[in-house]
Amino acid sequence: MKDQYDPHAFEEQWSRRWEAEKIYAAPDDPGKTKRFVMEMFPYPSGDLHMGHVENYTIADAMARYWRMRGFEVMHPMGYDAFGLPAENAAMRRGIHPRQWTMSNIDMMRSSLRRLGYSYDWSREVISCNPDYYRWNQWIFLKFYERGLAYRRTSPVNWCPVDKTVLAREQLSTGVCWRCGSVPEIRDLTQWFLKITDYSDRLLDEMKGLQWSDSILSQQRNWIGRSRGAEVTFKLRLKDSQDLVDFPVFTTRPDTLWGATFFVLAAEHPLAREMVAGTEQEAPFDEFVEEVRRETEVDRMAAKGVRRGFELPAVAVNPVNGEELPVWAADYILMGYGTGAIMAVPAHDQRDFEFARENGLPVRVVVQPEGQTLDPESMNEGYSGPGTLVNSGPFTGTAVDPDTHEGIDKVIEWLSEKGRGTAKVNYRQRDWLVSRQRYWGTPIPIVYCDECGEVPVPYEHLPVLLPDEAEYSSSDDAVSPLANDKDFVNTICPRCGEPASRETDTLDTFFDSSWYFLRYCDPDNDEAPFKTSKVNRWCPVDNYFGGVEHAVMHLIYARFFVKVFQDMGLLSFPEPFLRLFNQGHVSLGGKEMSKSTGNVIEAAAAIDAYGADSARTFILFSSPPAADYDFPLDGFEQIGRVAHSWLSRVWRVLSEVSNGAVPPELDRAVHRTIKAVTDEMEEFGLNTAIARMMELVNDFSKFDGPVPRPAAEAFLKLLAPIAPYLTEELWHRYGNEGSIHLQRWPDYDREKAEADRVVMVVQVNGKVRDRIEVSAEITKDEMTSLAIASERVKAYLNGGEPHKVIAVPPKLVNVVVR
RNA sequence: GCGGGCGUGGCGAAAUGGUAGACGCGCAGGAUUUAGGAUCCUGUGGGAUUGACUCCCGUGGAGGUUCGAGUCCUCUCGCCCGCACCA
């Protein structure tokens, strides 16, 4: 039995046995002790790498721990299988996206199995399969019925050479990833989901979530609710007397008297109208072209040249009748507010910069306390609190944008005068779900000359993605599917006349917005899921994933659940109760990425040292929430560290005795159970392993084989981290049944606590002596022991201490003047 | 610009306001071994000093609160991450 630790000798066979015996299967109808534990499902881009291994090992260790604590655990896995990289790979290598995706899934699944993750494989979800995406289509139609899906035009980046739409990823350097040509902007009619109907709920219902403040505040900023007023200006062309009402949103209606110009978004149709037929038309079009070539990221860049174009019009300020110049500019976005602003350069930084660049006037209307702003000498906009000046009836009013002090009074006055109304505005925009892509869920809509836009009837679902279609465009037809006549040409479900299908596919964030619900009922072919099953398992108790999904994925999933709740499909408002963001794993300071070859693949790590070592070293190397950078040449060494510790465990525990556990060792075991339990409760996996290492050190000092109860308690503690080794030893001891179905060991509180402790004696906060004392020692006893200490007497010089602070039983501080 | 985070030995890191550096790597010395590897033992923040004791310094920097600060507060320097300009 004194054989060497050889993980390859038994890992695979245990993996097979666990699966055959379905020891990790989740029941369909759990009770109150249910725990839904889930990781963000991977995009199948290749084999699993160490970044995946970190996330999944943390989650698996916790799932195993909770299972041993008596929870009914559901721990499922799936694949986010639609998406752009499959098409890119297909174009590069001439493989069908499905083939590429499925072979990657096979590779990943094999690594996931080898790593011993405790998934219930019967619940696996693959989003590119028709039995999944038909429910995307079902959901889309339900949204459509509720008025939550609608079409309008929106611009895309179009490569004129490759005849294809470019995603941000394919445009990283501003030119087409394949041919290097500069993209042009095309306006396409696209589908949107009306997520803005749920902005308030998405904001307000965040309260009960046990998520990090960082993620919550990112979501809050994303939704960006701001209180302010809509104020109606009148616009007039310079050579006309016709006045047109034009509302603008402002959070600072108190600064209306400081407005010195008016700005329209460059792409605002009204701006184009103003110059139409004049000699300014051509230069204006050129200006707009330039602006549209800027990415939104450029337009929001902090510094840099702001593009502007003066328009032949004036805007009339409703509060004082003043006529202001009208400009078009790149820093005003069509999609926010009304696509126009009143500019108050003295009190807004962007307006200030634009005014300085274009020689526009600056007028101060808020004076901060204790100083006087002078438009001539200012070098930035002032947006803090102060007192209104030169502001008509409001001169002398104190205002504060943080507390809204004074601002509400202005809004009230505007409403009374009919010049504006209170208004809440959001930064969040509706969710564009149309993609001009092959590898996605076809949008189930038919266009008929007679009936217009017609939803595909539910009984016709799924609208199958044609297998043999081209997956890149070959002409100006925007979506690849448009080239497939068999797909496009259909019959109108309403009137029976010839009609054509929608050829766009859905954003893959649609797939990932509800996959966790499908885990609860993966084989249902009558509905996306059964309400009762979802209500029993959900919400997800613990969700593990990276911070990169802080906003989009997590907001979209929350939105779906709220809509489903309104539809009566489920009865909870939030999908994910607790969210754990694991740190990022990098290699040599760079993100691990398949495409740059900067990866440590999971299979290589398992091959070298076995799955338990891979799991142990990734958990021990850094705290779960911290980033971890693999040294470029350090993988060998790090893997060996874990392997050699597990070998030590193997050596020390391969033989056990039937003797009783001697008291001292028993205490060590109980102390360790308590410490490890406490660490696990806090996700302290690295420190839990450290505590176990200490116990192994105690075991190895023990004379002779370790008594079996002590060894078994230890194996149970280690089981969530190293499931194979612990299972193997557990069975070698003669136990029946899996260690992973055992209960987590209890500890005896008295045994876990030491009866003798080292009391630290400080003088003025510096350690001067250590005395071993009973753990039951009182403050008075501590004080007298401290004062009696020779070391302390030296500092007292025969005098009395000024003060003694005793913190039983470990610390006493003698304060000497 | 906005939002979030992080700075502790040669390295990964620990530390409810209470002994800074647990645990581990690495390194040094020793044991074992034909050798290497593996294993076991001892030591290991910096400095001064000693036969041993012991003392001083030390958590990016500067202040502050406190009997006591890596931890709390203010300022500051550096690094990292996310983002769709709160009009």
Q: Residue A766 CB closer than 7 angstroms to strand B?
A: yes
A656 Cβ contact partners less than 8 Å away, ≥ 6 residues apart: A705, A706, A707, A708, A711, A712, A733
The residue-averaged pLDDT of A420-436 equals 87
Max mean pLDDT among A156-165, A232-241, A411-420, A738-747 falls in A738-747
Asked if the model's pLDDT at residue A289 lies above 60, the reply is yes
Q: Residue A302 CB closer than 7 angstroms to strand B?
A: yes
ipTM of the shown complex: 0.91
Distance CA A443, CA A462 (A): 10
Confidence of residue A1 (pLDDT cuts 50, 70, 90): very low
CA A794 to C1' B54 (Å) is 13
Distance CA A406, CA A399 (A): 5
A451-510 residues near strand B (Cβ < 7 Å): none
The residue-averaged pLDDT of A745-760 equals 88
Give nearest nucleotide to A648 (CA–C1'): B39
Asked if the model's pLDDT at residue A514 lies above 80, the reply is yes
A204 Cβ contact partners less than 8 Å away, ≥ 6 residues apart: none
Give the pLDDT of residue A169: 62
| pTM of this structure | 0.91
Q: Residue A684 CB closer than 7 angstroms to strand B?
A: yes
A115 contacts A15 by C-beta, under 8 angstroms: no
Residue for token pair 């660490």: A679
As ranges, strand B nucleotides with an atom below 7 A of a protein CB are 1-5, 11-16, 18-20, 22-26, 38-41, 55-56, 67-69, 80-87
Max mean pLDDT among A290-294, A467-471, A637-641 falls in A637-641
Q: DSSP string covering A493-533, please? A: TTT-SEEEE---EE-HHHHTTSHHHHTTSTT-SSSSS-HHH
Give the pLDDT of residue A683: 92
Q: Residue A571 CB closer than 7 angstroms to strand B?
A: no
Give nearest nucleotide to A299 (CA–C1'): B85
Q: Alpha carbon A17 to chain centroid distance? A: 35
Q: Assign 3-class secondary structure to A105-157.
A: HHHHHHHHHHCCCCCCHHHCEECCCHHHHHHHHHHHHHHHHCCCEEEEEEEEE
A366 contacts A349 by C-beta, under 8 angstroms: no
Q: Residue A621 CB closer than 7 angstroms to strand B?
A: yes
CA A759 to C1' B46 (Å) is 27
The residue-averaged pLDDT of A73-94 equals 89
Phi–psi pair at A328, nearest 5 degrees: -110, 145
pLDDT in tens, A170-184: 665 666 766 777 777
Residue nearest B55 (alpha carbon to C1'): A768
| Cβ neighbours, 10 Å, residue A659 | 13
A585 contacts A623 by C-beta, under 8 angstroms: no
Confidence of residue A363 (pLDDT cuts 50, 70, 90): very high
Distance CA A816, CA A787 (A): 11
* pLDDT averaged over every residue in chain A: 88
Asked if the model's pLDDT at residue A436 lies above 60, the reply is yes
Q: Residue A145 CB closer than 7 angstroms to strand B?
A: no
Asked if the model's pLDDT at residue A725 lies above 90, the reply is yes
Asked if the model's pLDDT at residue A343 lies above 80, the reply is yes
Give the pLDDT of residue A3: 80
Q: Residue A770 CB closer than 7 angstroms to strand B?
A: yes
Is A342 exposed, middle or buried, given 0-12, 13-18 or 19+ CB atoms closer than 10 A? buried
Confidence of residue A302 (pLDDT cuts 50, 70, 90): very low
Q: At what angle do helices A50-68 and A602-609 cross, to 10 degrees?
A: 70
CA A214 to C1' B3 (Å) is 8
Q: Mean pLDDT check: name the lowest of A313-317, A427-431, A631-635, A757-761.
A: A631-635
pLDDT in tens, A783-796: 988 888 888 888 88
Q: Residue A548 CB closer than 7 angstroms to strand B?
A: yes
Asked if the model's pLDDT at residue A816 lies above 70, the reply is yes
Q: Residue A690 CB closer than 7 angstroms to strand B?
A: yes
pLDDT in tens, A469-481: 776 666 666 788 8
Give the pLDDT of residue A556: 92
CA A783 to C1' B55 (Å) is 25
DSSP A214: H
Asked if the model's pLDDT at residue A193 lies above 70, the reply is yes
Confidence of residue A123 (pLDDT cuts 50, 70, 90): very high
Q: At what angle do helices A97-114 and A84-93 cross, to 10 degrees?
A: 110
The residue-averaged pLDDT of A16-21 equals 96
CA A462 to C1' B15 (Å) is 58
Exposed e or buried b for every residue in A580-605, given b needs 16+ CB within 10 A? bbbbbbbbeeeebeeeeebbbbbbbb
User: For residue A733, how many C-alpha atoms fall within 13 Å in the half-sphere facing its CB?
Assistant: 27
Q: Residue A764 CB closer than 7 angstroms to strand B?
A: yes
Phi–psi pair at A96, nearest 5 degrees: -70, 140
> Cα torsion for A138, A139, A145, A146, to the nearest 10°?
170
Give the pLDDT of residue A369: 77
CA A702 to C1' B32 (Å) is 20
How many H-runs (helices) and E-runs (strands) does chain A carry? 27, 35
Distance CA A352, CA A343 (A): 8
A268 Cβ contact partners less than 8 Å away, ≥ 6 residues apart: A328, A334, A339, A340
